């Protein structure tokens, strides 16, 4: 008899990879809830599997976004280096927490992160005149100096801690930071995927040492998600940048709200 997990895990991976590469991130925010709520995987194993599965998703997604001109390399490196530090620390914290408690913490954290995302989205709605002139379709590179470098590094460390503890790739702090610093939504998407490569690589190292990696889960999820992540930016190019600006924040908020509540109540 065929194990349905062999079919559904790659399918979920593909759909998640496709979705997050079009919205920014690596998929951890969906991998962990799917593994724990649908497949019943212990939270720590789900966290480790998520971070490992995120690596091919972010690598191929970032490559595809880079070819489309959606990645700010300099800004991404600043956040990425901070992310490495945060991820290693976060992995050791997560390993000491009970599985149920860690899952509920993840749910509360996802709900808390809704506030800065909504606040940033409301501020950006006041600048709709720029999108009418087509500015969001242009490649923009931030020149971060002084306090802005510190702010960017803070978002990177926060992203790493979030990734290491919850295995959700650390997308919210990265997207929030890039969004707040003024990058257009399409550049936020591409650059955030690039930043999360650092979180994933650091998380794999940390959880490997802790003995929490499940190779079969990684292959099944990571393989499907990598294909979806590569196709996502290609499809994204066919969508009007103004449309992306309009749906970006509401969709992210909805996803975070649904999974946050589900993790708390499960």
Reduced 3-state DSSP string for the chain: CCCCHHHHHHHHHHHHHHHHHHHCCCCHHHHHHHHHHHCCCCHHHHHHHHHHHHHHHHHHHHHHHHHCCCCCHHHHHHHHHHHHHHHHHHHHHHHCCCHHHHHHHHHHHHHHCHHHHHHHHHHHHHHHHHHHCCHHHCCCCCCCCCHHHHHHHHHHHHHHHHHHHHCCCCHHHHHHHHHHHCCCHHHHHHHHHHHHHHHHHHHHHHHHHHCCCCHHHHHHHHHHHHHHHHHHHHHHCCCCHHHHHHHHHHHHHHHHHHHHHHHHHC
Say if 136 falls within a structural domain.
no
* Average per-residue pLDDT for the chain: 78
Between the CA atoms of 250, 253, 259 and 265, what dihedral angle is there, to the nearest 10 degrees? -120
Owning domain of residue 109:
5-128+142-265
Is 80 exceeded by the pLDDT of residue 91?
yes
Cα–Cα dist 30/46, whole Å: 11
The domain total for the chain is 1
Average pLDDT over residues 178-207: 84
How far, in Å, CA of 222 to CA of 1, rounded? 24
Residue 55 lies in a domain: yes
Domain assignment present for 135: no
Domain assignment of residue 53, yes or no? yes
In a domain, 223, yes or no: yes
Instruction: Report how far residue 183's alpha carbon sits from residue 65's, in angstroms, rounded to the nearest whole number.
Output: 15
Residue 137 lies in a domain: no
Report the pLDDT value the prediction gives residue 137, as an integer from 0 to 100.
Answer: 46
Any domain includes 192: yes
Residue count of the chain: 266
Question: In the predicted model, is pLDDT for residue 135 greater than 60?
Answer: no
Instruction: Tell me whether residue 215 is exposed, middle or buried, using C-beta atoms within 10 angstroms of its C-beta: 0 to 12, 13 to 18, 19 or more.
Output: exposed
What is the dihedral sign for C-alpha 34, 37, 38, 43? positive
- Write the CB contacts of 256 (distance below 8 Å, at least 6 apart in sequence): 29, 110, 111, 113, 114, 117, 172
How would residue 24 be classed by pLDDT, with cut points 50, 70 and 90? low
Whether 98 is covered by a domain: the verdict is yes
Q: Tokens for 70, please give them.
A: 């959606």
Q: Mean pLDDT throughout 228-240?
A: 79
Handedness of CA 42, 201, 29, 79 (dihedral sign): positive
* pLDDT number for residue 136: 47
Residue 84 pLDDT = 92
At residue 179, the pLDDT reads 76
Report the range of poorest mean pLDDT among 13-17, 118-122, 221-225, 255-259: 118-122
For residue 120, is pLDDT > 60? yes
168, pLDDT greater than 80? no
């Amino acid at each position: 008899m065929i194990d349905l997990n062999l079919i559904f895990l790659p399918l979920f991976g593909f759909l998640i990879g496709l979705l997050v590469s079009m919205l920014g991130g690596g998929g951890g925010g969906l991998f962990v809830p799917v593994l724990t709520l649908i497949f019943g995987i212990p939270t720590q194993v789900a966290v480790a599997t998520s971070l490992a599965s995120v690596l091919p998703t972010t690598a191929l997604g970032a490559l595809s976004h880079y070819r489309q001109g959606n990645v700010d390399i300099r800004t991404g490196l600043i956040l990425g280096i901070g992310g490495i530090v945060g991820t290693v620390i976060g992995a050791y914290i997560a390993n000491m927490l009970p599985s149920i408690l860690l899952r509920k913490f993840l749910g509360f954290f996802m709900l808390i992160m809704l506030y800065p995302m909504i606040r940033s989205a409301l501020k950006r709605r006041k600048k709709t005149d720029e999108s009418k002139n087509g500015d969001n379709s242009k490649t923009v590179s931030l020149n971060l100096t002084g306090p802005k470098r510190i702010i960017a590094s803070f978002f990177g460390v926060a992203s790493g801690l979030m990734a290491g503890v919850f295995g959700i790739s650390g997308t919210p702090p990265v997207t929030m930071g890039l969004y707040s610093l003024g990058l257009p939504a399409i550049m936020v998407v591409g650059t955030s995927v690039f930043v999360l490569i650092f979180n994933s690589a650091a998380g794999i190292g940390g959880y490997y040492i802790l003995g929490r990696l499940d190779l079969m889960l990684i292959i099944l999820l990571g393989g499907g998600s990598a294909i979806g992540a590569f196709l996502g930016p290609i499809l994204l190019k066919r969508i009007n940048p103004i449309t992306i600006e309009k749906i970006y924040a509401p969709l992210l908020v909805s996803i975070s709200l649904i999974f946050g509540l589900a993790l708390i109540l499960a």
